[in-house]
Structure formats: C-alpha cells, structure tokens
Structure 1
C-alpha cells in the first residue's frame, strides 16, 4: 500500500461515459491504484448509473478523503449535488456542465490542501461547461484558472513515448505562428523540470522535432529551425538541458520509441499526437501546483451508460497520477 493521500477522480460529464468509467476504476482491483481512490461527483448519479448498468459496487458517501480505503467492490464518494434523475445519457446540458466544474473546483481545493495526492479527470464536455457560463478551452484551463497558473502545458504519455507540444488546439497557421524562441524555451523548461521532479530522470534526454519536412534542410525547406528553434535550444543547453538539434519528425519518433530519448518536444498537435494514438495516451498538466492527469479521450455521448466503454485508459491516468505524486514526494533526483 502507498503512504500517499488518496487519488481523487472527478467523474466528468454526468451524461457521458465518465461516471461508469470512474466507478470501475474506483472499485475493480486490477484497475485501482495502490492508494485509495475517492470519487468527486454526484453520489445519486453514480448510484443511478450503477443500477442501470448492473455494476456490482457499494457506493459510500464520505465527507473527507481520509475516510476512503482501498477496498475492491467499494466506491468512496465525496458528493457534488446534482438533480441526478433529470440527467439524460448522451445529452448536452447546462446542469451537467455546472456539475463538472463544481467537481473540478472541489478536487482542486482538496489537492491544494494536501488532502489528496493527485487529481485524475474523467472526460468532460467543453460545450456543456460553456452552456453553464464557464468559457474555457478544456478542463486543464479550468484547473489553471482555479490555481492562478498562467504558465502550463500538457505532457502526453503513451507506450514508450512522452510528448509535449509547442501548440495544441489551434489552426495550423496559428501553430506555425507560435513557433517562436520564447515559447519554445518556456515549454522546454517546464518539460525538463517535470521530467526531473515528477518522472525521476536525473538528466532527461529530450528530442526536438523540426517544424518543416526534414527539419528544414538548413533553410532549403523553411527558416523556422534556423531563426527560432535552434537559438532556443542553444539557450536551453546553456542552462544544462540535454536537448537535441531540430530533427526530422518522421525518424525522431521511431528513435524515441527505441529509447534514444526520454521525451519529445513536437511543434504542433498532429505531429505529436499521431505517433501516440496507437498506444492510447494519458495527459499530465505540467506547471500546475497540483498533480493532475486525464485520459486522452472524450465523453463518448454515443455510447454513454451502455456498459461498453473501456476503463483501461482512465485507470492508466489514475495510476500515472499516483506515480507522479510518489516521485515528487521523494524529491528531485541528483
């Protein structure tokens, strides 16, 4: 058993697959973390989902995370009020969006107070929390707002790969515009620090993808590598970071899979996510004052409450959160 405080799992959008996945991860021995899990969400909603899907689980409401135990077959829940009977599976709604944000807020408070060691988020629907008046790109941005964090990004973890992005959810034109030296240095610094403090690498090796085909071929296929990427990497090396030159992405990821690098810095969304998709991936929000992970999939309204959603990826996200919290608690490696 772990000596850590419990891991909190927010159950995501009540109308999506999050509640059923959360119940399975919280109560199935093979899916659980070594640390107790506490679910943050509507207990009535979870009971309704369990009954509907005939999930054999004892749902117990608690008031403090320390009451949770690691006990297969039991889900420990800190209740977030919701009119559970009015929730329609697979249907977008303002009340589900508000319940999602309420759970995020409570989990953040618990994490900042040290009452949970980490937070893992089941999938939420951004349209739903927009309907509730919370205009954010995603859950990570809500956590950042609640913790007053302005500098952050996500590391995606799948198979042997750990990947950070210079840009994520924006147009390709905007992604190119974001490939600038200050941004590259900031994200590289966050990535390097996290690899040391949360992943336990003493001298992390970071491979860097070029923006252009063949990393620009010395300016023949584009100048971004010369004007922005290389100067940023030179500054990072002066600060003691072990980073590569800009490399052709089509060979870089193969090398990373074979163990040449501990992480990869990619320049835009599809460049970094396509190599991860075949593994499935979880994400970790770097830069927040709390440990927070999530599964790399959505609410899947089309299969919500049907009992067919696979809980393995949310389980991986919860176990990753626990692992990161444990490594961070042990302190940076020398």
Structure 2
C-alpha cells in the first residue's frame, strides 16, 4: 500500500512552525510512514533549518506532484510570500496573510485529491485577524474553505482522547449553544473516528457542564437533564457504549487510566486543560467532520522562543503519525 502524501502548512512564519517542521523532518521514521510536502516559503524553511541545525536541504517546487519526498531533502511548495530575514517572535499582518494562504493552498490540494491529508503548524489568531481573515482558528477556517457546515475538534494524547462540543467561544455563549442535537452529532463524529481506527464498540464518556454533574439540580439550572441526557440516551439507543453526563473532575482521571476510549468535553478549557497537563509536547489536534483529514500540533506559535532553535518537535511528529494513520491512500 502506498504511503499517504501529507501536506504540511508552515503556519505563522514568525512563530515556531518552520522550526518544528524542520526538526520533525529530521526523523527518518516520518518518511517511512508518509510522503511529506511543506506548503510555505522555502526561504523561511532554509532559515529555520540553519537555526535548528537540521542539516537538511530544501527543494523549492511549484506543484505538489513535483515532490520526490526523499529523506534528507524537504520538498516545499514555495508560495514566495516572505522576504529574507522575516522577523521571528512578533505579531505581523504579513505573517497572518501568509499563514492563511498556506492553509488555503493545502485545502485546495487535498480537495483536488493531490494529497491525502493536511498537517498544520500553528498560526496566530491576532495576525490572521489583522490580515482580514476573521476566523477563530484553523478548525473554523478549514470548515469555511471546505464548505463544511459543522466540524468538531478532537485532541489526542498517548493517554487521552477528547472531542469538544464547543471550542472558541466564551463560556456563557458555549453553555447557551449546547443542545441535545449538537451533543449527539459530536458524539457521533467521535464514535465514527474511533470505529474507523478499529474499535468495534468504543467506550465514550460525556462530561457534565456543572460541578458534580449538577448534583441533582443543586448546581446550575438543569443543564445536564435538558442539554446532555437526551443526546446520551439517543446514542445508547443506537447500541453505542456511551455514558454520562459525568463530573468532569473525576471523569478525566478515569479516562486517563484507560477506563474510556474518548471523553466528550462541553467547552474549550474543560477538554484542553487535561490534555495539556498530561503532555503538551505529545498532544495532537484533529479536526473531525471535514471531507479531508487534518491534524495539527497542540501548541501555539510560542513567539517567546521563536527563532531560538529550542522548540520541541514531538507534537509535530505525532501529528504527522496521526495523519498517516487516518489518511486514505492515493494510487
């Protein structure tokens, strides 16, 4: 079976994206599991390669089909958007525009079946907005570019999988948005991903919104019974192994020790904090529900260390591994 071709977007060029890409592509096992092609600026990758002492050549190409994907040489679909010595570690409109163009090109390539999956380096939301692209992040941007009405964010670490009902909105707005239909659709998307990965009947646990799952109405305004219980019952009626709503504080402990295959979090921080505490460097972000496979590092642009050559590449390596496992194979 052919190795999947994965396009890697360079992310915000002022952040650590170029560095973690060059570090990740020093790992020969990355090339053993996939055929990587970077969408970005070859000049920036060369600069990042020198900073991290990668010892890799960078080949500038004009079409993804020109890529040779040979270990030791990084193929870069070169959009030539940056000048030499583009600043590291600062929020720039030009960087936001470049990050947008990289992901736009990657989406076009995968939608045209010229590659099998997208793996994204981090972008800066402020820079993206300064460039006129008002999206909360990659998840919503890719949904827009692929004309997908609804997607979900799943975070994966070695000990935990978490899918989110809501993500980049305020907590009050998140609680207002949660309703049984949305919760059921999110559970379904997570269930489908796990089944595709070979789990016949995955164990899925659903978080409550309030402390102690509302304590039978003592906390909150009955959100668990109104917003979550009907969705859980609907999934159970399909024969799925779904339980909840359960108190989040103990649920994540149980899931971390292996009692559940996936946790359904109700809002951003409820799901993100456990993943990042368990290991930010090995976490992966997967967008579920797109017509294409998309994985990402589970960290930001880290402007404070950008350009210093000290960023850890393990999340990028793991994101590439996850993309390779999830991707279909082209002929």
TM-score band w.r.t. shorter chain? over 0.9
Number of aligned residues? 326
Distance 1:231-1:57 versus aligned 2 partners, 3 A rule: same
> 2: CA distance between counterparts of 1:101 and 1:172?
27
What is the distance in 1 between the residues matched to 2:219 and 2:97? 48
Tell me the TM-score normalised to structure 1 length: 0.91
Gaps in structure 2 of 5+ consecutive residues: none
* Other-structure match for 1:153: 152
User: C-alpha displacement at 1:113, in angstroms?
Assistant: 1.7
Structure 1 CA distance, aligned partners of 2:69 and 2:199? 29
Report the secondary structure of 1:264's partner residue. Answer: strand
Question: Aligned partners of 1:53, 1:284: CA distance in 2, in Å?
Answer: 27
Matched, 1:13 2:12: yes
- 1:163 alignment counterpart: 162
> Counterparts of 2:195 and 2:64 in 1: how far apart (Å)?
29
Q: Distance in 1 between matches of 2:29 and 2:2?
A: 19
Q: Which residue of 2 aligns with 1:47?
A: 46
Measure the CA separation in 2 of the matches of 1:79 and 1:146. 20
TM-score by length of 2: 0.92
Paired residues of 1:24 and 1:31 also in contact (CA < 8 A): no
Q: Give deviations 1:111-145, integer Å, cap 9, x for gaps.
A: 11222111100011111121211111111211111
- The Cα shift of 1:64 comes to 3.7
Q: Distance in 2 between matches of 1:230 and 1:151?
A: 21
**Does residue 122 of structure 2 align to residue 120 of structure 1?**
no
Query: How many angstroms does 1:31 deviate by?
Result: 5.2
CA distance in 2, matches of 1:54, 1:256: 39
Question: Cα distance 1:100–1:19, how it changes in 2: closer, same or farther (>3 A)?
Answer: same
Moved more, 34-43 or 274-283: 274-283
- Give the direction of change, closer, same or farther, for the CA distance of 1:247–1:33 in structure 2 (3 Å limit): farther
* Residue matched to 2:61: 62
Q: What is the CA-CA distance between 1:53 and the residue it aligns to?
A: 4.5
Superposed CA deviations along residues 85-105 of structure 1, whole A, max 9, x for unmatched, are 251111222221111111111
Alpha-carbon deviation of 1:7?
A: 1.1
CA drift at 1:238:
2.0
Q: Distance in 1 between matches of 2:246 and 2:225?
A: 12
2:233 corresponds to: 234
Tell me by how many angstroms 1:63 deviates. 3.4
Q: CA RMSD in A?
A: 1.9
Give distance in 1, aligned partners of 2:303 and 2:218.
Answer: 46
Please tell me whether the aligned partners of residues 31 and 70 of structure 2 are also in contact (alpha carbons under 8 angstroms).
no
